[in-house]
A and B are shown apart, each in its own frame.
Chain A
Amino acid sequence: MSRDEFKIRYNMRVLTDHTITALAILATLIVIAPLLLIFGQVIYKGASSLNLAFFIRSPKPVGEMGGGMANAILGSGIMLGVASAIGVPIGIGGGIFLAEFGRGTKFANAIRFTADVLNGVPSIVMGLAIYSLIVIPQHHFSALSGGVALGIMMIPTVCRTTEEMLLMVPHAVREAALGLGVPNWRSVLSITVKTASPGIITGCMLAFARVAGETAPLIFTALGNQFWSASLDQPIAALPLQIYVYALSPYDDWHRLAWAGSLVLIVLIVLAVSLVRFVTSRGVLKGAS
């Protein structure tokens, strides 16, 4: 190979390298763009229509201005309460089993795999299953069925974060507890789980924030409601459902409310995600070692 030929080839290689670098930077910019656009739009539209009435009034009939989403916020709160009561204990229990008892066994691997699969089940399918499980026998839509659907969706997230957080707890802590003659159950609950509790709590918050924005499983379990309702046995409004209905409606005033609702949801989710990042990146757990 002559010297010139080598030089040309080398220049080509460097050129390719630079092109790829430019493309990668471009890709990153393209990916960040929708995030900024969505956030900008939601904050701009949402902040201008968010007011006190949004939080304390229930919806007005079509044509009347004003009104709020107080009933939807209450409904979301009730269903998320039911969901947490189901999802958090089962999820944490499953996580404790995976990290403390079943480590390395085939059974635990199967559970872990099932949890990941459950995580990938489309939320609309979850709604269908709960519909035929609870709504059909009850003969009507209810807040309870919506809560159960959301609770089941929380389980895999809570379970896997609990497991990951428990695995970060150093072995020496467990050995110290057992060496002092503490029973195993006590050692798990008040030593291991307690050490990992910041991480577990943020995991629960993340799961909570995720299901708070779920709409699909609620369409035919909670159904939605234009009026005040706090009964577990009745159809109930929910924030994401209300946003869905309002966003597709032809009324500007309802669009305004939908943007305000989106802002509330986004703030909730950004808080949860930042908290998770804060806890995991600062390594709160490492203080235990």
Chain B
Amino acid sequence: MVNDKVPEIHTAQAEPRVEPLATDGQPSAPEKAPENAPEISPVRRFLMGRGNSAFADSVFHWLMVLCALCIFGIVALIVWQLVVASQPSWHKFGFKFFYQAFVDPDTHQPMFWDPVNERFSALPFIYGTLVSSLLALLMAVPLAVGVAIFLTEMCPRVLRGPLAFMTELLAAIPSIIYGMWAVFVLVPVLREHVNPLLIHSLGWTGLFSDDNPTGLGFLAAGVILAVMILPIISSLTREVMTAVPHSQREAVLALGATRWEMIRMGVLRNARIGIVGGIMLGLGRALGETMAVTMVIGNTPEIHRSLLSNGSSMAAVIANEFAEAVSNMHLSALIEIGLALFIVTIIVNALAQLLVWAVTRGTPSQVH
């Protein structure tokens, strides 16, 4: 115990705990002149003999505050480091870094990323990140909402636990393993079966052109990202759907609605803000996902309309080139891409948190 703090025995912090025990005598008297108080109860004397913990308590309190502040500090440090390290590229290219294009002197084709001549533009990577993430959302959102509806509203109780556990597991698999599975299983399947079908049936749209025989590219990245963000979206959707009060469901059912009408009017309508939040959280994860995308997107800094072409994404180009980059400008340009990625994911995540928070705290899911 703390025995070094006896002199401070009657500080304000110690008082509230001690006071209720000293039931006999005047409770306010010891506060004024404790030494001269004539009668001190045995309980009180025992407690006084135990010493005072005000100092230890405040040390402990501030220690915990320090730990909490560390979290602030870390985020600030990350931002500071990225801002400082990306200065050279920012000074050279300015805001044009995010949309400019150069012309290749030999082929007269537009080009974006030229480490040899130190000319950099983030445009193809922004494009790749957006295309692959949006493709992933397009595939994942309907499935995830379907799973959430099944698990919360339709599923027999016996199946609910195991199925929820399986979707959780899906969220915990490391992205490197998704990447490996994509390289060895998914890409061959796409190459042999899916891509020819898409080219044959939808080739006229221009989105599926027949110029990349590898099977790598935006589509492969989108599919693997969809698998990876599914569990996040579905578990959050499940959470906000269970937060909808039962009376809503009962009211709609009492009016003679079928189960789907109950889900549509009673549940989805009330949970829609939270579902959007879940989708945005999934988007945040898709934007920053690195390894699986790097392994299947093809890693060429080009912009193609076709979803079957090779491309690259912001995270993928960093993972791919950073360790080998030699010139300072190259490093700085990559760090600037990282900073942009950081800012975008923070905005997306913060918005998503706010939306989910708004629903699960209960306020907006009242009757409209």
Residues of A at the B interface (CB closer than 8 Å) are 13-14, 16-17, 20-21, 23-28, 30-32, 34-35, 37-38, 41-42, 89-94, 96-98, 100-102, 107-108, 110-111, 113-126, 128-129, 131-133, 136, 152, 155-156, 159, 178, 181, 183-186, 188-189, 206, 209-210, 212-216, 219-220, 223, 240, 243-244, 247-248, 255, 258-259, 262, 265-266, 269-270, 272-274, 277, 281
Asked if B288 contacts A219 (CB within 8 A), the reply is: no
Which residues does chain B contribute within 8 Å of A126, judged by CB atoms?
78
8 contacts between A and B (CB under 8 A): A38-B181, A97-B67, A97-B68, A102-B68, A122-B345, A183-B56, A215-B176, A273-B168
CB-based nearest A residue for B183: A247
Asked if A124 contacts B288 (CB within 8 A), the reply is: yes
Could you tell me the distance in whole angstroms from the C-beta of A260 to the nearest C-beta in chain B? 12
Distance between Cα atoms of A121 and B75 in the complex (Å):
9
Could you tell me the distance in whole angstroms from the C-beta of A168 to the nearest C-beta in chain B? 17
Asked if A132 contacts B154 (CB within 8 A), the reply is: no
**Contact flag A184-B53 (CB < 8 Å), given A115-B71, A273-B172:** yes
Which of B27-35, B115-123, B301-309, B314-322 contacts its partner?
B314-322
Q: Say whether B258 faces chain A, with CB atoms less than 8 Å apart.
A: yes
Distance between Cα atoms of A221 and B272 in the complex (Å):
41
Asked if A93 contacts B64 (CB within 8 A), the reply is: yes
Contacting residue for B176 out of A27, A119, A122, A244, CB 8 A = A244
Distance between Cα atoms of A102 and B66 in the complex (Å):
12
Asked if B175 contacts A215 (CB within 8 A), the reply is: yes
Which residues does chain B contribute within 8 Å of A206, judged by CB atoms?
172
**Contact flag A216-B151 (CB < 8 Å), given A13-B261, A100-B64, A111-B68:** no
Which of B91-99, B201-209, B346-354 contacts its partner?
B346-354
Interface centre among A24, A91, A93, A132 (most CB of B within 10 A): A24
The number of residues on chain B lying at the interface, defined by a beta carbon within 8 Å of a beta carbon of chain A, is 94
Asked if B338 contacts A128 (CB within 8 A), the reply is: yes
Which of B104-112, B159-167, B191-199, B245-253 contacts its partner?
B159-167
Asked if B60 contacts A188 (CB within 8 A), the reply is: yes
Asked if B319 contacts A124 (CB within 8 A), the reply is: yes
Beta-carbon contacts of B69-97 to A below 8 Å, as 1s and 0s? 01110110110011011000000000000
CB-based nearest A residue for B66: A93
Asked if A114 contacts B175 (CB within 8 A), the reply is: no
Could you tell me the distance in whole angstroms from the C-beta of A53 to the nearest C-beta in chain B? 21
Contacting residue for B143 out of A27, A111, A270, CB 8 A = A27
Could you tell me the distance in whole angstroms from the C-beta of A147 to the nearest C-beta in chain B? 15
Which residues does chain A contribute within 8 Å of B281, judged by CB atoms?
120
Which residues does chain A contribute within 8 Å of B230, judged by CB atoms?
31
Residues of B at the A interface (CB closer than 8 Å) are 1-2, 17, 47, 50, 53, 56-57, 59-61, 63-68, 70-72, 74-75, 77-78, 81-82, 84-85, 142-147, 149-151, 154, 161, 163, 165-170, 172-181, 183-185, 227, 230-231, 234, 258-261, 263, 281, 284-285, 287-291, 295, 315, 318-319, 322-323, 334-335, 338-339, 341-342, 345-346, 348-350, 353
Asked if B295 contacts A248 (CB within 8 A), the reply is: yes
CB-based nearest A residue for B224: A34
Distance between Cα atoms of A100 and B63 in the complex (Å):
13
Which residues does chain A contribute within 8 Å of B77, judged by CB atoms?
129, 133
Contacting residue for B84 out of A31, A132, A255, CB 8 A = A132
Which residues does chain A contribute within 8 Å of B60, judged by CB atoms?
184-185, 188-189
Asked if A17 contacts B322 (CB within 8 A), the reply is: no
CB-based nearest B residue for A111: B68
**Contact flag A13-B319 (CB < 8 Å), given A115-B71, A116-B353:** no
Which residues does chain A contribute within 8 Å of B142, judged by CB atoms?
27
Which residues does chain B contribute within 8 Å of A223, judged by CB atoms?
323
Distance between Cα atoms of A37 and B353 in the complex (Å):
32
Asked if A90 contacts B67 (CB within 8 A), the reply is: yes
Asked if B57 contacts A270 (CB within 8 A), the reply is: no
Asked if B172 contacts A269 (CB within 8 A), the reply is: yes
**Contact flag A124-B168 (CB < 8 Å), given A31-B147, A183-B57, A244-B176:** no
Distance between Cα atoms of A117 and B214 in the complex (Å):
37
